[in-house]
Amino acid sequence: MTKSMAGKVVIITGASSGIGAACARLLSEQGCKLTLAARSKDKMQALADELDSDSLVLRADMTAHADIDNMIARTLHRFGRIDVLLANAGQYIPGPFADGDIQAYATMLRLNVDGVLRCAHAVLPSMQAQGSGDIVVTSSISGHIDIVGEPVYSASKHAVQTFVHTLRRQAAKDGIRVMSVAPGPVANPMQGLYDADEIRRAVEDKGSHLASEDCAEAILFMLSRPPHVTIRDLVILPQINRV
């Protein structure tokens, strides 16, 4: 059994590329109304121009509290409700901790953890008032195991996993589902892959990476389950994976 997504209002953060852009394309095909939020407005506008759906494009930085509040307010003003928050914006910094830039690590934590918490906190009142809603967080396999090559990133995703598991139990009584999708390596700009041929080789030839579209299809599966079904965690890995 699947639930129709037609007419659902979806906020996608980090919508300018990668998983966010792939979700926008797929959810548009399902008849969703979209708020696309990221720092690169030009990229999002080009994406919105491709889509058939009613789309609101907002330049928003998920480390800026006012931008998050504005994103929620503008979406409610435009569409009258919010059915889905896809908290997808994030940053990836791997490498030896001692050699890293501590300020860059702090910024990543603000985006990967604080940004997710603030987006969820901002959207909950409207979802509670309507008695329904889905919050899906883009996590990582790094939130399920300790990856030695990415200590701070892994810590940020472990924090996100704990938040999803506990908020889910608090929000369930209000008809709100809280879920996470946890991919392994994804062939997109976060992994330093931009060229279409490079991405194809990583996904199809080497089998070392997922495509952003694989993650989008997993998220659609989660969202389209009937209301009594919650996919709390969905881990998705490429065929060849080191973890």
Mean pLDDT, contiguous 10-residue spans, the chain (243 residues): 91 97 98 97 95 96 97 98 98 96 97 98 98 98 94 97 98 98 89 79 84 97 97 94 70
Give which of 173, 113, 155 is closest to 137, Cα–Cα: 113
Distance (Å, rounded) from C-alpha 79 to C-alpha 133? Answer: 14
What pLDDT does residue 240 have? 82
Distance (Å, rounded) from C-alpha 15 to C-alpha 41? Answer: 10
Catalytic residue list contains 153: yes
Pairing status of strand 133-138 against strand 176-183? parallel
What pLDDT does residue 242 have? 67
Ordered DSSP codes for 93-157: --S-GGGS-HHHHHHHHIIIIIHHHHHHHHHHHHHHHHT-EEEEEE--GGGTS--TT-HHHHHHH
CB 37 within 8 A of CB 111: no
CB 26 within 8 A of CB 217: yes
- Choose the catalytic residue: 92, 105, 153, 194: 153
What pLDDT does residue 1 have? 64
List beta partners, residue 233. 180
Question: To which H or E segment does residue 21 belong?
Answer: helix 18-29
* Helices 18-29 and 212-223, packing angle to 10 deg: 50
Distance (Å, rounded) from C-alpha 20 to C-alpha 31? Answer: 16
Cβ neighbours of residue 150 closer than 8 Å, sequence gap 6 or more: 92, 93, 94, 95, 142
What does the chain come to in residues?
243
Global pTM value: 0.95
Distance (Å, rounded) from C-alpha 110 to C-alpha 64? Answer: 10
One-letter identity of residue 164: V
Give which of 192, 189, 234 is closest to 212, Cα–Cα: 189
Residue 82's φ and ψ, nearest 5 degrees, are -135, 120
What pLDDT does residue 197 have? 77
Distance (Å, rounded) from C-alpha 104 to C-alpha 141? Answer: 21
> pLDDT tens-digit profile of 52-88?
999 999 999 999 999 999 999 999 999 999 999 999 9
What pLDDT does residue 201 have? 84
Strand order in the sheet with 84-87: 55-59, 33-38, 9-13, 84-87, 133-138, 176-183, 233-236
> pLDDT tens-digit profile of 204-217?
878 889 999 999 99
What pLDDT does residue 190 have? 77
